[in-house]
Structure 1
Amino acid sequence: GFAGPQSRNLSSVDPRAGHFVHGMPLDEQIARQVSAQDPTSRAIHYQRLESEAKKFFRPKPLPRRRW
């Protein structure tokens, strides 16, 4: 049967990556993940999560078409 661990956490995201959802403001998603209070740590978190989000939403560059 298919009652393995997969069936239980189909809704969960890869735990190693940031948790991003389509159809929700990206800055809001990042804000939920940034728990640091001081501005420097927040900035570092935001930059890291933003680059993770870019990889998530655009995993690979579009192939260049030669005409």
Structure 2
Amino acid sequence: MRSLMVDDEICGVFYSNELVKQYREIFEKDILHCNPYTLEMFQGRTQKEKFMASIFLLFAPLM
């Protein structure tokens, strides 16, 4: 429950196998157009990037 409050996640339950299949296909197509973001990339962020992330985090609940 804490994760839902901190990260503004959405939890959903699908009871239709056909709907699950459609969303899985959409997800798999989306993944093809994504760039991986590795732990090394995250840890290698500049001070400016870290500062900007902390500023945007303040406004996340408003979005």
Q: Is the pair's TM-score, using the shorter chain for normalization, greater than 0.5?
A: no
* TM-score when normalising by structure 1: 0.31
Q: More helix per residue: 1 or 2?
A: 2
* TM-score when normalising by structure 2: 0.33
